[in-house]
Structure 1
Amino acid sequence: MNVLSQIFAGVTAVALLGVGVLEIFFHGDRRFHSLFLIEPEDVRAVRMWAMNIGAYNITFALGIIAGLWMVNLADQTAGVAIVLFCCAAQVLLGIWLWITERRLLLSAIGQASLPAIPLVCYFFLR
């Protein structure tokens, strides 16, 4: 796995960690209403979903981190597979976000485009 792929995969992991923390701990915060589209009266109703999506994002971030560790310090082939899977899953999930909620276009672009960069670097900059 080339250095650019690893760098952008690492950036993706950091972004997923940040978003996961926001989703778990700040989904009801009015400052993030435009990001999550959650009305104050709906916070209790969406709490379970917001917290689970946050946990999924953190899990994918940890997967990328574990994969990067494996690429550099353990089983390179398995590490590459883990990183590529986690990034590809986020690309598909970003597309799915836009399909299911058109108002979240910018969030969908962010979710899909950042993890697409390490995929492009890996497959086209060998």
Structure 2
Amino acid sequence: MNLLSQVLAGATALALISVGLMEIFRHGDQRLHRIFLIGPQDVRAVRMWAMNVGAYNVTFGVGIAVGLWMVNFGNPAGGAAIVLFCCASHVFLGFWLWVTEKRLLLSAIGQALFPGLAVIFYLLLG
């Protein structure tokens, strides 16, 4: 797996873990309601979904990190497969976020751009 793909995947992992932790622990913070498109009255209603989506994001981020570790220190082919699966999943999930909520276009681009580039550069550069 080439260095550019690894850097983009690593940035994706950091973003997923950071956003996931915000979704889990900070979804009730009024300063973030604009990002999550919720109001103070919605916090209790979205708690379960926010915490689960956050857990998914943290899990995918850790998956990418483990895959990158494997690429560099263990099983390169297996690690690359994990990284590519996680990144490709987030390309789809970014697209799906936009399909389900058009107001989250920038979030969808943010979710899909780096993992998409990681996959593209892997395919182009090996």
Structure 2, unpaired ranges of 5+ = none
| Counterpart in the other structure of 2:8 | 8
Corresponding residue of 1:96: 96
**Aligned amino acid, residue 49 of structure 1:** W
The answer to whether the 8 Å contact 1:24/1:55 transfers is: yes
- Provide TM-score, normalisation by structure 2: 0.97
Aligned residues: 126
Q: Over the residues paired in the alignment, what is the CA RMSD in angstroms?
A: 0.8
Supply the AA of the counterpart residue of 1:4. Answer: L
Look up the match of 1:75: 75
Percent identical residues = 63
Give the alignment of 1:1-126 within 5 angstroms: 1-126=1-126
Unaligned runs of 5+ in 1: none
C-alpha separation in 2, matches of 1:39 and 1:114: 29
Distance in 2, Cα, partners of 1:43 & 1:114: 30
Instruction: Give the alignment's TM-score, normalised by structure 1.
Output: 0.97
Q: CA offsets, 1:5-56, max 9 Å, x none? A: 1111101000001100110111121111121001100100100000000000
Which amino acid letter does the alignment assign opposite residue 105 of structure 1?
L
Q: What is the alpha-carbon distance in structure 1 between the residues aligned to residue 54 and residue 29 of structure 2?
A: 15
Could you tell me how far 1:81 is from its partner in structure 2? 0.3
Structure 1 residue ranges (4+ consecutive) displaced by more than 3 angstroms after TM superposition: none
